[in-house]
Amino acid sequence: MCLCGGFAEDNARFILLAVVLVAYMLAGAVLFQRLESDLEVRQAAEFWRVYHAFRRHHLRGSPLALQRLHELLYAYGNASATGIINKRRRWDFPGSFHFVGTIVSTIGYGSTAPQTTAGKAAVILYGFFGCSGGILFFNLFLERIITFLAWILRNWHVQRLKRRLRRITLTSRRVSKSSSAQKSSLPDILDDDDDNNVDLDHWKPSVYWVMLYLSVTSCIIACCAAALYASLENWDYFDALYFAFVSFTTIGFGDYVSTQKPNYLHVHWYRIANFVFLVVGCCCIYSLLNVTSIVIKQGLNYVIHKLQYGNRDIAAPYLPRRRSSVPTIYCSKRRATRFVGRDSIRAEENSETPRRMSGELISMKDFLSANKVSLAVMQKQLYDAAQMQKGGGSLVATPNHQVLKPGAVGPLAIASEKFESKSTINR
C-alpha cells in the first residue's frame, strides 16, 4: 500500500515519527526553557554577588591574591566534579563496581569517569561488550516478564469463562423443560482439573492490559526505591523519585547519584538494595518503554490512514467488530474439537482464509514451549495486538503488501535474518 506522496507505509510511518519527535523536542525545549531559565539566571547572579563581595572585603585589589583565588575556585570545582572531596572514594572496589554498573546498564551518571588514558581505552573495549550484554539481558527479561503477565491473564481469562458458562448453563437448566438428555453435565471447560484440555493456545491478552500491569509494577518499584533513597540520602521524596526515574530509564543526568556520601547507616545492605533496585527498575522500565512504543506505532498508523483516506467510508476494516458477550463454541474432549472464546475467531476447516486473532498479545503455546519465542516475534505480535485491538485486522499477503516475517523485526531479528539466510544459502 502506498501513500499519495509515493511513500510506502513503512517509510511514511518513519517520516511521520521523525516529524513528531522533532515537534516533541521543540515543544520540550520551549517548556524547559520557561521552567529552568529564570533559576539559572538567579543562581549566576548570586554567585557573582558572593564573588565580588569577597573581593571587596578580603582582596582589596591585590593581583596575586586574585590569581590565587581563581586557582582555588578552579581546583575546587574540578575536585567537586570528580568526587575527590566531600564524597566517598571513587576507585575502591565498591566504587569501581558502581562505575561498571553504570556502563553495563548504559546509565552513565558521569559522577565517576576514568582520568587516565589506559582507563579511557579500557572503557571503550569493556563498554562495548558490557553494553551488548546488558541490552541482551534487558531483552531476555522483557520476554520473560511478558510471558509471566500473559500466563496470569490467561488463567484469569479461563476462570472468567468458567464462571460465565456456569451461570449460563445453570440458567438454561432452570428454564429448560426438556428431557434429561438435554440436562447434561456442564461443558468440559468447567472441569477444574482439565485446564490443559482447554485449547486456548492462541488466546492473547490485550497489549493495553500488559502496558497497565507494567506501569503499575514500575511505579511501585520506583516509589519503594524513592523511599529508600530519601531516607538514606537525605533527599526530598520527589527528588528521590526523580532520581529513580532518571536512573531506571538510563537517562542518567548525574545531578543526583546514590551511594556517594562517605558514610551511611548499614552501608553494605544499602549498596545491595541500591543494586537490586537499579537492576529491577531498569528491566521493568525497559519493558514498559518497548510496550509503549507499540502503542505509539499504532497511533502513527491511525494518523497515516486518516491522512491517506480522510473521512471516506473505508474505515470498516479498521473499526472494532462486535463480539458476542458469551463464548459461542464449546465441545467435549471426545470430539477433539477446539474451544473458541469471544476473543478469538476460528477459521472453518479446509478454509483458505488465514486465522484472525482479536487484538491480543502473545501466543501462550509459543511462550510456554521452552522459551523459543524471540524478542522479535514478541515485538511483532505486540504490534499486531495493538492493531487488532483497534479493529485493524490481521495482515494478509497481497501483491502490493509484503507480509513482514516475524524474524525481520527489531535489531536482534535483523541479525538473525541475516544469519538464517546465509546458512540457507550455504546449504
pLDDT in tens, 398-424: 444 444 443 344 444 434 444 444 434
Q: Side chain identity at 398, as an amino acid letter?
A: T
Per the structure block, which three cell numbers stand in for 362? 502473545
Q: 359: which residues sit within 8 A by CB, 6+ positions away?
A: 206, 207, 385, 386, 387, 388, 389, 390, 391, 392
pLDDT reading at 43 higher than 60? yes
The average confidence (pLDDT) of the chain is 74
Q: Read out DSSP for 232-243?
A: HH---HHHHHHH
pLDDT reading at 425 higher than 70? no
Distances (CA, A) of 162 to 186, 346, 419: 10, 20, 45
**Band of residue 78 on the pLDDT scale cut at 50, 70, 90:** confident
pLDDT reading at 183 higher than 50? no
pLDDT reading at 141 higher than 70? yes
Give, in degrees to the nearest 5, the angle at Cα 322 between 321 and 324: 135
320/166 Cα distance (integer angstroms): 28
235/275 Cα distance (integer angstroms): 19
Residue labelled with grid coordinates 499486531: 384
Per the structure block, which three cell numbers stand in for 377? 516475534
Residue labelled with grid coordinates 467510508: 313
pLDDT for residue 362: 47
Cβ(18)–Cβ(296) under 8 Å? no
Cβ(157)–Cβ(203) under 8 Å? yes
Q: Centre a 10 Å sphere on the Cβ of residue 299 and count the other Cβ atoms it contains.
A: 14
Cβ(300)–Cβ(387) under 8 Å? no
Q: Centre a 10 Å sphere on the Cβ of residue 147 and count the other Cβ atoms it contains.
A: 18
Per the structure block, which three cell numbers stand in for 368? 510456554
Per the structure block, which three cell numbers stand in for 244? 529513580
Q: What pTM, to 2 d.p., does this model score?
A: 0.69
Residue labelled with grid coordinates 567537586: 80
